[in-house]
Structure 1
Amino acid sequence: MAASSDVTINNLQGTWRINKALSDGLDVALELRGIPWLIRKAVSLATITDRLSQRKDENGATVIQVAQTATGGLPGETEVYIVDGSETTQGGGKFGVQKIRTRWLHLTKDVDGSERLTNIAGNPIDPWLLEGWLSEGTASSPGHINVFVVNEKAGWTTEQVWGFSEIEGARRRVTKFIITKGPRTARVSVVYDWLGRRE
C-alpha cells in the first residue's frame, strides 16, 4: 500500500511491511553480514514487518525506534536511531554489536552547505544512494536520512539512505543501502508497504 501524504520522513511512525516483489533480494547482503545460509533461507520466506515510533529526546534530536518482527519463528530485532550524527552502540541479535551514526540528509547540499555530498565518515556518498528519490523536504527540513553502520568484529560497514520514491505509480518508503566487507559489496533497495499508524 502506498504511503499517504501525511506520512513523511519527519513522521514515519506506524507499521510497515517489506514488499518482496518490489525489493531487491537480501541474501548477498545477509551473507556479507555473516548470517548462516539456513537463516538467510528463512528470511527469504518470511514476512518482515517493522513498527516504527518517532519522537524528540530531551536535546531536541529525533529518535526513531524500529521494532522488526518476522514470521517463521525468526527472532525479532529492535534498533534505535538518534538523528543527530552522534555514535551509538547497539548489540546482540543476529547482526552482532554495531556502531551506528544517523543524520538528516539534503540531496542537493551537504551539512556544511557545500555541493559535495559526503557521508558521516567524511567520504563521498555513492551516487547510487542518491538516485531515484522524490524531491521532498525544504531548505530548513531535509527530506532524507543517512545512516552509517560499522561492525568491527565482523568486518563490514553499511551505508543507508531513507526516503520516499515513486514506484509503479505509487509513493512508497524506501531504504537503499550498500554493505561492504573487504572487496565485496552489495547494493540493495528495500521497498515498504504502508499498513497504517496502528496495526
Structure 2
Amino acid sequence: MAVPASMTTLNMSGKFTLNKALSHPPEEILELQGVQMLQRKAMGAASAMFTVTMTHSKNDSGEETLTLAQSLPGFDLGEPEVKVFNWQEQTRDTKLIGTIVTKAKRVKLDEVENAYLKEEWSADTVENGVILIHAVPKEGEWSVYQTWGIADINGEKRHVRRFAFTGPKRSVEHRFVYDYLGEN
C-alpha cells in the first residue's frame, strides 16, 4: 500500500510492513550479519507479520529523530530504537545481532558516495534529502550504509530503504520496500 501523497522524508511517521514481492529477501543480509539459520528461516516465514512503527519528531535539543518500534510475533525484538540525525555514534544492544554502533543524518544525494544508494528516489526526497545511516557491529566484522526515503515504485509512493552491505564474505546491495499500514 502506498504512503499518503503528503508523506516526505521530513515526516515519515506511520506504521509499515515489508513488502516481500517488491523487496530483496532479508534473509541474505541476516546471514551475512551472523544470524543463525533457524532464526533466519523463522523470521523469513513470519516476515509478513513484521511491523515497524516510525515516529518522526525532534528531541529536547531540537535535533531531528526517528523512533522505530518493531514487532514480529514470536520474537523479542527489544526496545524501540531512536535514531538521532546528528551523525554521532549511538550504541545499541540488539537481540539478533548483538551490539551495534550506528549514526544517522539527513543528506542531499550528492553527499552519498555509493551510486546504488542514490537510485530511484522521488522528487521530494531528492529535494528534502535522504536519511543516511551507517551501522557496524561492536566487533567490526561488517558494515552497512543505508539510505531511507520515499521512492516511486510501480507508480506508487513507497517508503524504501536501500542497503550497501560490506562483509568479510561478500558485499551486497539490497532494497527493502514497505507497505504503509496507516498512522501510528
What TM-score, normalized by structure 1, do the two folds share? Answer: 0.85
> Cα offset for 1:6?
2.0
The structure 1 residue matched to 2:154, chosen from 147, 164, 168, is 168
Secondary structure of the residue aligned to 1:94 is coil
Q: 1:41 is aligned with what amino acid?
A: K
Residue 128 (structure 1) aligns with: 116
- Counterpart residue number, 1:42: 42
CA pair 2-138 structure 1, distance change in 2 beyond 3 A: closer
2:82 matched to which residue of 1?
80
| Separation in structure 2 between the aligned mates of residue 154 and residue 102 of structure 1, nearest angstrom | 18
Q: CA deviation at 1:147?
A: 0.2
Is the 8 Å Cα contact of residues 22 and 191 (structure 1) preserved in structure 2? yes
Aligned to 1:67: 69
Contact 1:135 1:143 (C-alpha < 8 Å) held by counterparts: no
- 2:108 matched residue in structure 1: 106
Q: How many residues align?
A: 181
Structure 2: distance between partners of 1:41 and 1:188: 18
* Amino acid of the structure 2 residue aligned with 1:25: P
- Taking the TM superposition and a 5 Å limit, the aligned residue runs for 1:1-199 are 1-46=1-46, 47-71=49-73, 73-77=74-78, 78-107=80-109, 109-110=110-111, 117=112, 125-137=113-125, 142-153=128-139, 155-198=141-184
8 Å Cα contact 1:129-1:161 kept in structure 2: yes
For 1:54-106, what per-residue CA distance to the aligned partner results, in whole angstroms no more than 9, with x for missing partners? Answer: 211122111111111113x1222432210111111111311211111101011
C-alpha displacement of 1:151? 0.7
In 2, the alpha carbon distance for the partners of 1:27 and 1:44 equals: 6
1:144-175: CA deviation from partner (whole Å, max 9, x where unpaired)? 10000011326111110001111111110100
TM-score (norm 2): 0.92
Per-residue CA deviations over 1:114-151 (Å, capped at 9, x if unaligned) read xxx4xxxxxxx211111111121576xx3310000011
**Separation (CA, whole Å) in 2 of partners of 1:75 and 1:187:** 27
